[in-house]
Amino acid sequence: MSQPSPTTSHAPADDPEIPIPAPPPLRVVHETGGIDLAAAEHAAGQFLHALGIGTDSESLRGTPGRMARAYAELFSPRPFDLTTFPNDEDYDELVLARSIPLRSVCEHHLLPFVGTAHVGYLPGRRILGLSKLARVVEHFACRPQVQERLTKQIADWLQTQLEPKGVGVVIQAEHTCMTLRGVRATGSSTLTSTLLGVLRSDARSRSEFLALTGLPT
């Protein structure tokens, strides 16, 4: 993940007329070792053959390539700029994006899990462009994951980048490694949460956040 150069300077405390330059947007890019689609397609074909599935028919001939491209897409989050703005009005209430669509891949079976993320924060000096909350969710979801780690990564990263008074992340998802195989618990979902700052330490703020997500307090 790339970081901007620390070019921001601060006005002297006794000279409020000198504006404080806005920090440059953080360019967020998921660092990978590179994607070799040809090698992935070859490996997918060998994988299918090892399971006794031939790829000679017209309908299956292109399946290894489609598998390779599908997983490459699942593991490739789109780069974005983390755009923030000064909190000129000193807004001190929750900012919450509910029901952000989420899809990731279980790192234990490489099967998808899908659901929604509720992401909120109590602003400090700066506020975040609302669409960026969904971008941050995508950024950490587009890789082999476990839901517990994903929830904490989103919250910790927002806490570091925004320096808000508090951050809350709740994820509810259905894991196909649990519903389509093994125990086959069709219809079950998994709920995880991470609360930081005031949303963790203050019972009233915590209850408000959970109530706004639609979860029981």
Q: Catalytic residue positions?
A: 106-109, 147, 175, 177
- Whether residue 69 contacts residue 22, with contact meaning beta carbons closer than 8 Å, is answered with no
Buried b (16+ CB within 10 A) or exposed e, 98-133: eebebebbbeebeebbebbbbbbbbbeeebbeeebb
Per DSSP, the chain holds a count of helices (H) and strands (E) of 7, 9
Which residue type does 119 have? Answer: V
Which residues neighbour 216 within 8 Å (Cβ) at sequence distance 6 or greater?
Answer: 210
Tokens describing residue 66: 């489609």
Tokens describing residue 88: 């000129």
